[in-house]
């Protein structure tokens, strides 16, 4: 298995788009991931079978200042092809993303949302240290609630916004 950064070709974009639309419950518009991939290509990591080159998994994320006081990473989408689940691939993609956000962007925290009924995703993220902070009522188009999860990275993540000085 080979982990890589998005290679910024139309062909790979199409493969990513197919994987996401086939296996994520939320029907994302193609423009959502086009925006993520165009703006933060370095935060799209792919996993391919080395022998067949088949796309097995993808994680799409971004990093932005949050309320001008913290750097916040956000994991937008994560999918592993059903044939290859349960082998630790998703955990590896999340760990690589977390380390990259810390190294390249000095993030203070990393957040994401997942459906409250998505036990697999909750187990995966909580085993990596993410914690539930909020329940978002009817967050998804299918009317399911979401949990927002957070991984605090620095002390800043544990301080109230009012006590932090703006990032210049």
Residues that bind ligand COA (CB under 6 A): 23-24, 78-80, 85-91, 114, 118-121, 123-124, 127
- Terminal alpha carbon distance of the chain: 41
Nearer to ligand COA, 23 or 159 (CB): 23
Residues 152, 156, 161, 167, CA torsion sign: negative
CB of 167 to ligand COA, least distance (A): 27
- In angstroms, the Cα distances linking 76 to 32, 83, 103, 131, 162 are 10, 22, 19, 16, 27
Nearer to ligand COA, 144 or 152 (CB): 144
CB 31 within 8 A of CB 21: no
CB of 155 to ligand COA, least distance (A): 27
CA distance 135 to 75: 17
Residue in the shown chain whose Cβ atom is closest to ligand COA: 120
CA distance 24 to 79: 7
Residue partners of 119: CB distance under 8 A and separation at least 6:
none
Nearer to ligand COA, 67 or 123 (CB): 123
CB of 61 to ligand COA, least distance (A): 11
Nearer to ligand COA, 139 or 156 (CB): 139
CB of 135 to ligand COA, least distance (A): 15
Nearer to ligand COA, 40 or 156 (CB): 40
CB of 157 to ligand COA, least distance (A): 20
């Amino acid at each position: 298995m080979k982990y890589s950064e998005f290679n910024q070709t139309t062909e790979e974009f199409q493969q990513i788009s197919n994987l996401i639309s086939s296996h994520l419950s939320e029907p994302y518009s193609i423009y959502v991931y086009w925006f993520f991939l165009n703006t933060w290509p370095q935060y799209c990591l792919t996993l391919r079978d080395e022998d067949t080159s088949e796309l097995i998994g993808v994680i799409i994320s971004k990093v932005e200042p949050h309320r001008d006081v913290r750097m916040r990473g956000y994991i937008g989408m994560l999918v592993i092809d059903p044939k290859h689940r349960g082998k630790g691939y998703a955990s590896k993609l999340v760990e690589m993303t977390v380390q990259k956000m810390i190294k390249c962007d000095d993030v203070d925290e990393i957040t994401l949302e997942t459906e409250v009924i998505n036990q697999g995703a909750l187990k995966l993220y909580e085993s990596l240290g993410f914690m539930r902070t909020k329940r978002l009522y009817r967050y998804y188009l299918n009317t399911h609630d979401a949990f927002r999860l957070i991984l605090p990275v620095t002390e800043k993540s544990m301080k109230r916004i009012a006590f932090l000085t703006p990032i210049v």
